[in-house]
Structure 1
């Protein structure tokens, strides 16, 4: 019996989309990074503010996963900069859906009761 250990995640784009005041963290509208599987990619020569990144990171794994249509994680995509003096707004957008395999992403074996035939 072969085991289907596939699961899906969304790739994400996190972009600076608005300025509601002074950009204290030196980001610029249009700056972005992408999340593909478990890796963050940035355009060559572009950085991203450390404290904004730290605030966004906990949201990314949840945004990668399929969620119920009524879940706020499905509908809400704009995040304010965590610096109260900064006016940056970041948007987390789901892009493509990627199929991954548990056996390629984890060192743990799936319990036999959870494996799909």
Structure 2
């Protein structure tokens, strides 16, 4: 029973994060990073539904989000935000498809 409960909460959070990204309630970079962490807690971290998210996380790991942005100058943030938005526009279709696959795979 403990094993089932142990996997249920991370699966639920994983699906919630993916759904929040799909409807625009979660920053895509934050969501990608959260999914990459959660994949180790769901009992199937190498599932192919994570491949696109893992690749995008690797390509966006230098983009500052959250409180870490306080460590950067406004000029740098303006420049990196333009770059980040351009990347996300190109990758949005892949991100949304991966989120849909995650929801389908990990929903009960």
TM-score, with structure 2 as normaliser = 0.32
When you count helix as a share of all residues, which structure comes out higher? Answer: 2
